[in-house]
Structure 1
Amino acid sequence: MSFTLISPFCILLLLTSWLLSGQDVIAAPVDQHTDTPATREAVTLKYSISGSGTFYPYFTNDPQHPGILPDLVTRILTQSALAGENIVLPAKRTNRYLESGKIDFDLISPAWLKASQLTDPQFVFSDAMLLIREYVVTRAATTPVNSLAGRMVGTVRGYYYHDDDEFVRADFESERALLQALKKGRIDMAIIGDLPAQYWSAQDKVTLHFNQLHSQGTLHIRLRAEHAHLLPVLNRAIQTLRDTGQITRIETDYLQRIASEQVPDNE
């Protein structure tokens, strides 16, 4: 009887082959904080930017022309090579979903937030995108409202107001409902963005007066901190869109659309 000698190297190869065939291969850990196209493709960012649903022209409910914010976010995600899913939610639910991690980002002006909200470690903020203003409005020209302390003020349910611990909120479901309440005398003043106020006052024939500037700031992406590694690529996309005039063009297109809708029909 003869024996064939097997080298230690061959034994090692056979043993390795047997081990791999008998169990699942464990992949090497992947650094999720490395910004690569492959990493980005694996992420689908969920977001909600619908506001109250009548945040016109920022959100319009029109699939063909969905609004400044949907168009802007679509451009940013495309430029970033990131996938996104827009989930239309009421404002109050948007805040809850963001805090619980059911969605990954929204768009917000830091000027709307209290100091504690600005420093919340759950979130990081992108670079600025476009200017946004809100005003205290009244039915007619009156003396300037220099203080809201102790006053009842019309607000939109679920919206942030940096100083709402100073006044009494009278919440309504939307900007449109807010102006209708003002028209009917249910409230004497309200806080509302300038563009939604101009649009709905024209649509519903509500006479109003822009009494005082309440906040002025810029819109930013507010992103959950676990996605902070995506912030550089998002900021690069914002910079590119700003430098090429695309952000300005999106806003201008909707402002021109509003103007054309408000031209009197002389026929």
Structure 2
Amino acid sequence: MKTALTIAGTDPSGGAGIQADIKTMTANGVYAMSAVTALVAQNTTGVKSIMEVTPEFLAEQLDCVFTDIMPDAVKTGMVSSVPLIQVIARKLKEYRVEKLVVDPVMVATSGDRLISEEAVDALKAELLPLATVLTPNIPEAEVLSGMTIHGPEDMERAARSISERYGCAVLCKGGHDLNDANDLLWRSGEAKWFYGRRIDNPNTHGTGCTLSSAIASNLAKGYDLDTSVERAKTYLSGALASMLDLGQGKGPLDHLFNLEGEFVK
């Protein structure tokens, strides 16, 4: 069985962060492992507080995983401080991780900011150059590129700038009232569009975590990047189209919409 590791914060309501990542990886057929960067008190209505782990404890978690069950792919999510980013980068280099999906989480679906300005700089310097692919949404792509994005041509310019600056592929995600879930993959100087359809579902808590984890899962299984993105988008569409409706805010997705078997009856 192929394996994947998520390095991210928690969500006690189960819709985003580590919990969403584990569900997504399981649903996509890989063995899920996790290293917690922060305990986040949040739900579908917003983030209440964040309690980070120490850099030493995060390093111990990563050592425990890498020295016992080497992951076939790694995904990073919310990392909110410079020391934690530095630990992750050091361990990824130490264990020679080859398949890395970086979801540059900066703002929650609810609009709550999750990362300091200093941490954004560390993310750029330490983590982005190690990535196989980055998965920024429109606001995150604007921060990383320093550009304003109003349409598809702006997405291409921003993705190209980010890719050239950090030497990795960039999946610039659409949505955010910009288009019908059309995502742009920029890699090696070329653009490829992945077209989707907007699903009229207000419950979008954890969509970014879910997409990046699905991409990592497919990379772990040996699919190339294009195929991994295509499969991940199809999976995300299914989780949205299931129309799960929980919580008082932007609710979670149905990560296990396709789960079948005796024990789910």
Task: State whether TM-score is above 0.5.
Answer: no
Structure with the greater relative contact order (CA < 8 A, sep ≥ 6): 1 or 2?
1
The TM-score normalised by the length of structure 1 is 0.31
Larger Rg: 1
